[in-house]
Each structure stands twice: as structure tokens, then as C-alpha cells.
Amino acid sequence: MKESFYLFVLTFRGGDWADPKTRFAESAFLDHSFPKTSTSFDELSSYIETIVHEHMTTNAFDELWEIYESK
């Protein structure tokens, strides 16, 4: 079974703040409503589009999702 997207994203925490993936990871960590067990693109992208967060952008999500899917 594939790890959740959230657990994958956490591997980007602590990186360079200039990297959108790091900002996304830190923001997801602090967001208690983030779908932590999801592996569904549709569920996650819908959540990201709904919350409209400064650091959890759709561009960063798409980049992270591409890496996640390639694993």
C-alpha cells in the first residue's frame, strides 16, 4: 500500500523556505484539516483549491504530486 500524500509531503519539511515544496509541506503540517490519509488526487486537489492558502498553491501541489506518483 502506498503511503499517504501527507506523509510524503512531510519529507520536504525543513528545507529552503524559497522552495515552494517546503512552504507547502510546512503549511500542510500546520493545517489540522489536511486530508492526512488520502492518496486520491481528486480529493487532495479539491481540498487545495477550496482552502486557498498562500503557501499550499496548486502549482506546488502539482509539482509534489508528480514526484509522489513517480515513486
Cβ-contact 68, 24 below 8 angstroms: no
Domains of the chain: 5-70 (1.10.150.260)
- Please give the grid coordinates belonging to residue 69: 506518483
Q: What is the pTM of this model?
A: 0.94
Q: Name which of 26, 35, 13 is nearest 56 in CA terms.
A: 26
Chain segment 14-64, per-residue pLDDT in tens: 999 999 999 999 999 999 999 999 999 999 999 999 998 999 999 999 999
